[in-house]
Structure 1
Amino acid sequence: MKAAEKLEALENAIRIAGDKALSFRKQGLTIEVKGKNDFVTQVDREVETEIKSVISHLFPEDGFLGEESGISAGEEGIWVIDPIDGTTNYIQGMDYWCISVAYVNNDQIELGYIYAPERDEFFAARKGQGAWLNGRCLKMENEAEGQSIIGLGHSNRRPLSDVINLLTILDENNVDHRRFGAGALMLAHVASGLVHGYFEAHLNSWDALAGLLLVEEAGGCVPDFLANDGLINGNPVWVSTQRLWPVLNTYMEQFS
């Protein structure tokens, strides 16, 4: 099977897994508590297992890092999977959740996919080749002055003061904010122009990598997430349009 055919098969598998997640929710969920405001369902595990199975068949030389199953080494690159980002939204019946899949090789994010089934949004990005939403090429543009909107996430691994301090800086710079509860999908929506930036004081790699590549390939500004062993330990995330980047960097200087 050619490389393009393998990627097409993977994209189809991601879509199928997302559509199954919708069906599973209608049948009822088994919910476990992993931590404060952190939940997992049987669907998270089933979706991750299904996507891993497809990747193992298509790319047997590669390894995996999954939110639910941990890391397994491979001879080549590593696939990083979040089966459901925004699990609380998913449990509550909201549409703001997604599947996120990224491929990392030689310390570079090479591929990224984000699928939001209920919104019918399939995002894809390839390093150096561009980013797309449902086949439409994404090109980020600067927002008009005074119209900046940034997405925010809050990690329980960082103090609430991180967000509060940023809100002060955003207000001083006339930047509005939104919080929707799914970091991967918010990153994708920066790439598509729905919001103009995103910040979270700590994201795990399975939440961040696909969305970071989408933003980068759409022409936005991104940090070096993989620095300091970000693949395993996670890192702060801040992405934006060219116009908004200096505002976020001002905050990140204080944050660091």
Structure 2
Amino acid sequence: MTEEQQQSLCKLIRQLGKQAQVLRDAGLKVDKKARQDFVSHADLFVEEEIKGWLQAHRPEDGFLGEESGLQGGEQGIWVIDPIDGTTNYILGMDYWCISLAYVRKNVIEMGIIYAPDRNEFFFSRRGQGAFLNEKRLRLREPDADAVVVGLGRSSRAPVESYSRTIDVLLNAGIEYRRFGAGALMLAHVAAGQVHAYYEEHMNSWDALAGMLLIEEAGGKSNAFLEDNGLLNGNLVLTGCVDVQQRLARLLHTG
């Protein structure tokens, strides 16, 4: 991707975030995909707009969207969640974002996460660092007794497993937070607002951009893309290196 294309894409993501705010404030049409799983016409609009830009500027690449599935992909694949945290977005909370990642040869090469209500624009390219509003992010290990972990709750994993995870963390003296938008929580790991993130199953459009941000900020992630994680999703355990390794032992993730 050229520098000009990169700037154009980032500008588009910012514009679409603003338009999603306008659509929400004007009143949304919302459909239900499953229990506690919603899609708004803003989700569909944002995904189609990004898809159109990519078809015009990166026709050699494929596209994997939460709402429209996989199309093409001989060179690389753009992976998008048009609005992560749709329930928060619908309810007027600020904890939602647009998430976009680029994967080539099973390696995450670029990640963008934009939280319009919070004015937070995260960007990373492999080997070039992670940034929040153009300020470089660098992770620092917390004290062992001051760890706070972000959690996600997947409908594809048993509730009992989630409950056990909370028990393990609290018994180990580790605090947790759950805010309902995994992609944005991953970005906030990269920003040092929580020290790691764990979810038993995430889809690639929620996970990839944030995982690259964390790695480029100096953190460590599990091998999400193994076992066809791009299409099937996978477990996510990522964060500050020492915290991530401690959690891997506590949660028996390998």
Deviation at 1:55, TM superposition (A): 1.4
How many angstroms apart in 1 are the aligned matches of 2:245 and 2:209? 23
Instruction: Check the 8 A contact 2:168/2:251 in 1, yes or no.
Output: no
2:29 counterpart residue number: 30
Kept in 2, the 8 Å contact 1:173–1:247? The answer is no
Question: Which residue pairs with 1:229 in the alignment?
Answer: 228
Single out whichever of 111-120 and 51-60 deviates more from structure 2. Answer: 51-60
Q: Secondary structure at the match of 1:109?
A: strand
The Cα of 1:74 is off from its aligned counterpart by 3.0
Q: Tell me what 2:146 maps to.
A: 147
Q: Which residue of 2 aligns with 1:167?
A: 166
Give distance in 1, aligned partners of 2:250 and 2:69.
32
State the partner residue of 1:55. 54
Kindly state the Cα deviation for residue 162 of structure 1 after the two structures are TM-superposed.
1.8
Q: What's the offset of the Cα at 1:120? A: 0.3
Deviations 1:28-76 (A, max 9, x none): 1111110121000011000000011111111111000000011101331
Q: Tell me the CA shift for residue 172 of structure 1.
A: 2.3
SS of 2:74's equivalent? coil
Structure 1 segment 1-256 matched on structure 2, within 5 A: 3-253=2-252
Alpha-carbon distance in structure 2 between the residues aligned to 1:100 and 1:235: 17
1:145 CA drift (Å):
2.9
Letter of the structure 2 residue corresponding to residue 14 of structure 1: I
Query: Given residue 212 of structure 2, which amino acid in structure 1 is its aligned partner?
Result: L
* Partner AA of 2:139 in structure 1: M
* 2:237 match: secondary structure: strand
Deviates more, 1:110-119 or 1:70-79: 70-79
Cα distance between partner residues in 2 of 1:100 and 1:208: 9
Paired residue secondary structure (2:221): coil
Q: In structure 2, the residue corresponding to 1:140 is in which secondary structure?
A: coil
SS in 1 for 2:211: helix
Unaligned stretches of 5+ in structure 2?
Answer: none
CA apart distance, 1:177: 0.5
Which string of whole-angstrom CA distances, capped at 9 and with x for unpartnered residues, describes residues 91-133 of structure 1? 0000000000000001100000000000000000111111000
Contact 2:165–2:251 (CA under 8 A) maintained in structure 1: no
Measure the CA separation in 1 of the matches of 2:171 and 2:54.
Answer: 47
Task: Give the C-alpha shift of residue 251 in structure 1.
Answer: 3.7
Q: Distance in 2 between matches of 1:30 and 1:66?
A: 20
Please provide the CA RMSD for this pair: 1.1
CA drift of 1:167 comes to 1.4
Give the drift of 1:234: 0.1
Task: List, as ranges, runs of 4+ consecutive aligned residues in structure 1 with deviation greater than 6 Å.
Answer: none
Q: What SS class does the counterpart of residue 179 from structure 2 fall into?
A: coil
Q: Deviations over 1:127-174 (max 9, x none)?
A: 111100000000000012311101111001100122112112211221
- TM-score scaled by structure 1? 0.97
Partners of 2:162 and 2:246 lie apart in 1 by 14
SS at structure 2 position matched to 1:39: strand
Q: Verify the 8 A CA contact 2:189 2:195 in the aligned structure 1.
A: yes
Q: CA deviation at 1:252?
A: 3.9
Structure 1 counterpart SS, 2:213:
helix
Structure 1 gaps of 5+ residues are none
SS at 2:12 equivalent: helix
Identical positions, percent: 50
Aligned-partner Cα distance in 2 for 1:73–1:53: 14
1:36·1:156 contact (CA, 8 Å) conserved in 2?
A: no
Question: Separation in 2 of the partners of 1:187 and 1:176?
Answer: 16
SS in 2 for 1:229: helix
